[in-house]
Amino acid sequence: MSTHVDIEVDLLIVGAGPAGLYAAYCGGFRGLRVAVIDNLPEPGGQVAALYPEKLIYDVAALPAVRGRDLVENLISQADAFGPTYILGEQATTAAPIVPSSDGGPSRWLVGTDHGRRVNCGAIVVTGGIGRFTPRPLPAAAAWEGSGLTYHVRHLAEHAGRDVVIVGGGDSAVDWALALQPIAASVTLVHRRAKFRAHESSVGELRQGTCTIITDAQVTDADGDDHLQRVVIAHSSGERTTLAANSLIVALGFTADLGPLESWGIQIVDRRIVVDTAMRTCQPGIYAAGDITDYGGKVRLISVGFGESALAVNNAATYLDPQLSLAPGHSTDSAQQPAAVAASSTA
């Protein structure tokens, strides 16, 4: 077997969502060489791929922050220490390397679906819910890329359009609220009478200009080169044709952990079991964020940030037992980014 290794680092972060990006910063702050891998083509995880325009309200010290801005700030924070990004590749295999002759801990060799291999001292898995795929709307699947989309990357793309949104969860209602001020019209179609979205958001939507159609489904769509209209089938048997230049399908998504399940780590109900130090049952492999589970777990971005700090600092002491677990204060550390250090002494 070839021993060629493309990248050698101290710490490999598997997952480039918010928890992973903050883990990259924490690793850099501890003086570790860090690589971040994600199967998506850009960093940011679900927030960047599905909710870039949504406002997030539960990040400490940020009363409201747009998903896109949160990701950009996390990237900027981590980039001060120069992590290596491996994007558009999925980590598929992880095998321990024989311990060094000096008795140090085993290293890991991680392979990707593109044939790349990464030699690392420790791994922090921050894969969120794993690899996710939007649930399709078969009746309109032919219009993907020509009017149908599964998420809103830029609100302005739908300005002045007749927008039909399918779904009854938070994403569907949030998109409807966000698009009301700029779209020509917004119609929300949900197959049930009861919504899964937060009650307050649904109440706000009912007070706005959005047309809400419940107990109904989109059963057909047509147009010329671009989507122009959809057909709504009501539970009563009635059918309605609506103008639709944009069809946003927010029916949730399926997710799986894929190759992670072969890494020898304990997984229960698609969650990685960790202890209070974010350790898995495999020495040198840690996990943080929504992908983890333990007693009392709360799945919030803010919790994921704290777990990333725990995972990385415990990984640092795994790599070098002489290190202190506490990273120290960033304002006093010699590890602060050069640009910050220069400005603080100017």
Q: Which residue pairs, CB below 8 angstroms and at least 24 apart, start in 281-284?
A: 283/105, 283/106, 283/318, 284/96, 284/105, 284/106, 284/107, 284/108, 284/121, 284/122, 284/123, 284/315, 284/318
Of residues 5 and 103, more confidently modeled: 5
Percentage of the chain beyond pLDDT 70 is 92
230, amino acid identity = V
Helix axes 301-319, 18-29, angle to 10 degrees: 40
- Give me the pLDDT at residue 102, please: 63
318 assigned ligand-binding residue: no
Q: What's the whole-number mean pLDDT along residues 243-247? A: 96
Q: What pLDDT does 336 receive? A: 54
pLDDT digits (tens, 9 = 90+) for 183-215: 999 999 999 999 999 899 999 999 999 999 999
What is d(CA 346, CA 343) in angstroms, rounded to the nearest whole number?
5
Fold classified for 136-251: FAD/NAD(P)-binding domain (3.50.50)
pTM above 0.85, yes or no: no
290: annotated binding-site residue?
yes
DSSP alpha helix (H) spans, the chain: 18-29, 45-50, 67-79, 170-179, 199-206, 301-319, 338-345
- Of 124, 182, 122, residue with least CA distance to 158: 182
> Tens of pLDDT along 131-173?
667 889 999 999 999 999 988 888 999 999 999 999 999 889 9
From CA 55, how far away is CA 310, in angstroms rounded?
Answer: 27
Known binding residue 331? Answer is yes
Split at pLDDT 50, 70, 90, the class of 328 is: confident
DSSP string, 185-210: EEEEEESSSS-SS-HHHHHHHHTSS-
Give the residue from 83, 68, 71 showing the smallest Cα distance to 25.
83
38 is in an annotated binding site: yes
Averaged pLDDT score across all residues of the chain: 90
Q: How far apart are CA 8 and CA 3, in angstroms?
A: 12
Residue pair 53/178 in contact (Cβ under 8 Å)? The answer is: yes
pLDDT digits 0-9 by tens, 57-88: 889 999 999 999 999 999 999 999 999 999 99
Instruction: For 195, list phi and psi in degrees, rounded to 5.
Output: -95, 150
Q: What is the pLDDT of residues 119-132, one digit of tens each?
A: 999 999 998 766 66
Residue 221: count of CB within 10 angstroms of its CB: 23
Q: Is 91 annotated as a binding residue?
A: yes
Is 332 annotated to bind a ligand? Reply is: no
Does the annotation list 195 as a binding residue? no
Tell which wins on pLDDT, 342 or 247: 247
Pinpoint the residues of the chain covered by CATH 3.50.50.60.
7-131+254-345, 136-251
**In 3-state terms, what secondary structure has residue 45?**
helix
Residues 6+ apart with CB under 8 A from 8: 33, 118, 119, 120
CB burial of 108-136 (b: ≥16 within 10 Å; e: otherwise) equals bbbbbeeebbbbbbbbbbbbbbbbbebee
Structure tokens at 72: 């950009």
Q: Is 50 exceeded by the pLDDT of residue 346?
A: no
The CATH code of domain 7-131+254-345 reads 3.50.50.60
Question: Do 275 and 113 meet the contact criterion of CB atoms below 8 Å apart?
Answer: no
Residue with tokens 């000096």: 102
How far is it, in rounded angstroms, from Cα 32 to Cα 313? 10
Q: Using pLDDT thresholds of 50, 70 and 90, give the confidence band for residue 342.
A: very low
